[in-house]
């Protein structure tokens, strides 16, 4: 059974590596013509072109003038719509499976997990953590408003994602490098710190957790209250006391489900709120 779980978890890893590599190639091809010649499909695209958040911050200008904010393209707009469709279906699955910066933080987190074992991702007291998680909403509002007012990408000077994929260029503001360094160090102690506390796009997508079609459910009838789902959650969400996860920080990584952490079959699962089955059993 363990082999089956590992194989399935590998699927998320493979998809994450695939999209990370794709974005890396896109940014490299933007800087080095040799890479662009090798991969003509992505030639000419920039990181801004494949960032769905660019579409979000451009919305106001698009509606009022019919054009995009500087450096934003049609592609960002379409990606925003595509990601929004996936979020309506299954929540911020983009964050948990696709976003290269989330993937990068997870990779750094592997070092932290090795160093701190069970203490990893448990350093910040929940009282403080609760308030810190509001920061990303404040950032979302600030970015959308200031981008609408200035018609420029104000966030790019602070964006650690942009800094990571443009390390080799001279286009990155020093502030973005500093924030990237902070995120890397924080990732050694906290799982996905940027996603939790600062990502404006995650803040927006997370709102779909309230109304998404497929949600994470816990079947109370078969739950043995072992709490393994809570321990497994990278976003520190308490699953063991709820029947349906509607927490705005769930990224649909599925680590809490009966495929991975939950030892009881079909007890924690991703599904619609249909009639629950009664089958029982353990994974171990």
Partner 1 sequence: MRISSTVLGTGVAAFIVVAVALLMIFGLWNDEQSKVPAKFTTGQFAGLNNPSDIRGSYTFEDIEHYFSVPAETIAQAFALDTSQKGANEYKAKDLEELYKDIDNGEVGTDSIKWFVSLYDQVPYEPEATTLLPESAIRILADLGSIDETTATVLTARSIAINQTYATSATQEHDVASEEMIIKGNTTYSDLLIWGLDAETIESIVGYPITDRTIKLRDDFSQKGLEFSVYKNVLQEALNIL
**Chain contacts with ligand SF4 (rule: CB under 6 A):** 216, 232-233, 235, 237, 239, 245, 250-256
239 binding partner (options ligand SF4, partner 1, none; Cβ < 5 to 8 Å by kind)? ligand SF4
3-state secondary structure of 244: strand
State the nearest-atom distance from the C-beta of 125 to partner 1, in Å.
Answer: 29
Nearer to partner 1, 94 or 120 (CB): 94
CA distances from 266 to 72, 97, 211 (A): 43, 22, 22
281 binding partner (options ligand SF4, partner 1, none; Cβ < 5 to 8 Å by kind)? none
State the nearest-atom distance from the C-beta of 97 to partner 1, in Å.
Answer: 6
- Residue 280, interface with partner 1 (CB under 8 A)? no
Cβ atoms of residues 237 and 250 within 8 Å: yes
- CA-based end-to-end distance of the chain: 7
State the DSSP H helix or E strand holding residue 115, giving kind and residue range, or none if neither: helix 100-116
Cβ atoms of residues 252 and 241 within 8 Å: no
How many Å apart are CA 235 and CA 133, to the nearest integer? Answer: 11
* Site map 143..182 versus partner 1, x via CB under 8 A: -------xxx-x-xxx-----------xx-xxx-------
Nearer to ligand SF4, 58 or 209 (CB): 209
Token duo for residue 224 = 């043995």
- Residue 283, interface with partner 1 (CB under 8 A)? no
| Cβ-based neighbours of 28, under 8 Å, separated by 6 or more | 35
Residue from the set 12, 113, 246, 265 that interacts with partner 1 by CB under 8 A? 12
- Residue 120, interface with partner 1 (CB under 8 A)? no
Q: Which residue has the tokens 């978890």?
A: 9
| Cβ-based neighbours of 150, under 8 Å, separated by 6 or more | none
- Residue in 38, 166, 188, 169 with CA at minimum distance from that of residue 109: 188
Nearer to ligand SF4, 26 or 216 (CB): 216
The site for partner 1 (CB under 8 A) is made up of 8-9, 11-12, 15, 18-19, 42, 44-46, 49-50, 65-68, 70-71, 73-75, 78-79, 82-83, 85-86, 90, 93-94, 97-98, 150-152, 154, 156-158, 170-171, 173-175, 214, 252, 254, 257, 259-260, 266, 269-272, 274
């Amino acid at each position: 059974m363990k082999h089956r779980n590992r194989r399935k978890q590998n699927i998320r890893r493979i998809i994450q590596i695939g999209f990370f590599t794709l974005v890396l190639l896109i940014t490299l091809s933007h800087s080095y013509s040799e890479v662009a010649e090798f991969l003509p499909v992505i030639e000419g695209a920039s990181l801004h072109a494949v960032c769905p958040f660019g579409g979000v911050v451009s919305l106001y200008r698009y509606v009022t003038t019919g054009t995009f904010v500087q450096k934003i393209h049609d592609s960002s707009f379409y990606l925003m719509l595509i990601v929004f469709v996936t979020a309506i279906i299954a929540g911020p699955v983009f964050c948990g499976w696709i976003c290269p910066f989330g993937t990068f933080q997870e990779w750094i987190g592997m070092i932290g997990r090795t160093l701190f074992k069970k203490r990893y991702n448990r350093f910040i007291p929940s009282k403080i953590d609760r308030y810190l998680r509001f920061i990303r909403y404040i950032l979302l509002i600030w970015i959308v408003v200031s981008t609408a007012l200035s018609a420029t990408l104000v966030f790019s000077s602070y964006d650690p994602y942009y800094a990571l994929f443009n390390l080799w260029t001279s286009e990155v503001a020093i502030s973005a490098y500093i924030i990237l360094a902070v995120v890397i160090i924080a990732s050694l102690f906290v799982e996905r710190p940027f996603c939790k506390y600062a990502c404006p796009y995650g803040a927006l997508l997370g709102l779909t957790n309230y109304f998404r079609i497929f949600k994470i459910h816990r079947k109370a009838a078969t739950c043995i209250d072992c709490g393994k789902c809570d321990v497994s959650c990278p976003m520190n969400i308490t699953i063991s006391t709820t029947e349906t996860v509607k927490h705005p920080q769930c990224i649909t990584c599925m680590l809490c489900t009966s495929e991975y952490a939950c030892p009881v079959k079909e007890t924690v699962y991703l599904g619609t709120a249909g009639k629950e089955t009664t089958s029982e059993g353990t994974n171990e």
